[in-house]
Amino acid sequence: MATKTRETTSWWPLAAAGAGVIALCYGFARYAYGLFVPRFTETFGLTTVGIGVLGGLSTAGYAAGLLIAPKTSARSARGTVLLAGAAATTGLALMAAAPHVTVFAAGIVVAGASAGLVSPGVAQLISESESENPARAQTWANTGTGLGLAASAFTPLLALGWPVVWAAFAGLGAAMTLLAWRTLPHTTPQPATAGSTNTTPLVLNSVLIGVTSAPYWTFSGSRLAEAGLSPVAATWCWFAIGVAGLLGGLAGRVVDRVGLRAANLATWTLAAAGLALLGVPGLGPKSALISSALFGSTYMALTGLCIVWAARVSPARPARGVTWSFVGLGAGQTAAAPLAGAAAGTLGLGPVFILTGLVALLAWTPWAKPAGPAAPRP
């Protein structure tokens, strides 16, 4: 008797739609803030403390979105993704139209929440869909962050006021959310499975991503300036982070070939090289661009692998695993940024990046290794 097989659909349309919303929520609603800090400072008369507070509010909104996402995703993964798009659009519009800093701060919180909602929502939606290759769909959707970074990289160089740029971001957000509403599939929530899953290695791996990425996100611009590179060169490096991040989508294919464990360790090794390269003496434009490309591609690959990992340890509720993973990542970033700053005051930024590269090699210790077959699939 022939057995009935479940029909599967092509994975790339769902991955593309997910990447678009992720690009909106991360590239524009969360990370573009750092590119425009000098203009925000001038408009609202901010001090360094005020800038830090606003950055903290973005993180607080992000954390709130992460905490809400598992519950909303269990009810409707598609609805969670659309909610993320709506939150990004609303937050950006509030920031663009803000008459004073209080409204601007509210917009930052709402925009930050969109990033916390979108990754668990997209992960859950892909898991519930009957796509032919969920691992590739997960990792390619995750590269939306790189796409958003690349798209926003040169916007500070435009001869426009930042409210105009932010209004354009909001307009793009509305269009992207409408497109997602038209294209994202309706899926059936999966019943929760009994028993507990061990997410500790996943969370520890994510904390390590946060610890090693925080110095780069926070101090790479300062390191480039210290090495004598121009602001234009720094902009190109930011652009390289975003464009190279698109290569992170290949992580799903690598998982299919060599297994999750080998893919994770190989990516960590490249990440360590990219981090340490930024700290070498005599840093020039070519070395800086290579470092940026290595950082962008490995950061997107590592976060994408975490999503694949979460889907394996919790097949019915990957949004829950993604949430814990990204909470660990955020905790690592929160703790590492001030520590890196303190170390830079004593050692200098170059040695800090070399040490950070060495810390990345902790991924080779047993506690950071994902369970699962390491051999290629036939």
Q: Is 157 exposed, middle or buried (0-12, 13-18, 19+ CB in 10 A)?
A: exposed
pLDDT in tens, 278-309: 999 999 999 999 999 999 999 999 999 999 99
pLDDT reported for residue 105: 94
186, 145, 141: which is closest to 14 by C-alpha?
141
Rg, the chain, Cα only? 20
Side-chain-facing half-sphere of 27: CA atoms under 13 Å? 33
Q: Residues 6 or more apart from 97 whose CB is under 8 A from it?
A: 103, 163, 167
Distance of CA 265 to the CA centre of its chain: 19
pLDDT reported for residue 341: 85
The residue with greater pLDDT, 375 or 202, is 202
The answer to whether residues 170 and 89 touch, using CB atoms and an 8 Å cutoff, is: yes
pLDDT reported for residue 377: 41
Hey, is 278 helix, strand or coil?
coil
370, 133, 368, 371: which is closest to 253 by C-alpha?
133
Over the chain, what is the mean pLDDT?
88
Distance (Å, whole) CA 268 – CA 250: 15
Q: Taking 70 as the threshold, does the pLDDT of residue 378 lie above it?
A: no
pLDDT reported for residue 318: 84
Distance (Å, whole) CA 272 – CA 279: 11
What average pLDDT does range 11-18 have in this prediction? 90
pLDDT reported for residue 367: 67
pLDDT reported for residue 368: 62
What average pLDDT does range 36-46 have in this prediction? 86
The residue with greater pLDDT, 8 or 305, is 305
Q: Taking 90 as the threshold, does the pLDDT of residue 9 lie above it?
A: no
- The proportion of the chain whose per-residue pLDDT surpasses 90, expressed as a percent, equals 58
pLDDT reported for residue 136: 87
The answer to whether residues 280 and 333 touch, using CB atoms and an 8 Å cutoff, is: no
343, 331, 55: which is closest to 215 by C-alpha?
343
pLDDT reported for residue 219: 84
3-state DSSP helix/strand/coil % of the chain, to nearest 5: 80, 0, 20
Distance of CA 297 to the CA centre of its chain: 11
pLDDT in tens, 114-158: 999 999 999 999 989 877 788 889 899 999 999 998 998 888 888
What average pLDDT does range 110-115 have in this prediction? 95
- The proportion of the chain whose per-residue pLDDT surpasses 70, expressed as a percent, equals 92
Q: Taking 50 as the threshold, does the pLDDT of residue 333 lie above it?
A: yes
Q: Taking 60 as the threshold, does the pLDDT of residue 371 lie above it?
A: no
The residue with greater pLDDT, 57 or 287, is 287
pLDDT in tens, 153-205: 888 888 889 999 999 999 999 999 999 999 999 888 876 654 446 788 999 99
Cβ of 124: how many Cβ atoms within 10 Å? 32
pLDDT reported for residue 188: 83
Q: Which range has highest mean pLDDT (169-173, 217-221, 227-231)?
A: 169-173
Distances (CA, A) of 328 to 168, 196, 209, 280, 321: 33, 19, 9, 29, 11
Distance (Å, whole) CA 345 – CA 351: 11
- For residues 305, 308, 310, 315, the Cα torsion angle rounded to the nearest 10 degrees is -170
Q: Which range has highest mean pLDDT (42-46, 171-175, 227-231, 250-254)?
A: 171-175
Q: Residues 6 or more apart from 272 whose CB is under 8 A from it?
A: 357, 358, 360, 361
Hey, is 179 helix, strand or coil?
helix
Q: Residues 6 or more apart from 151 whose CB is under 8 A from it?
A: 23, 27, 28, 242
What average pLDDT does range 31-58 have in this prediction? 82
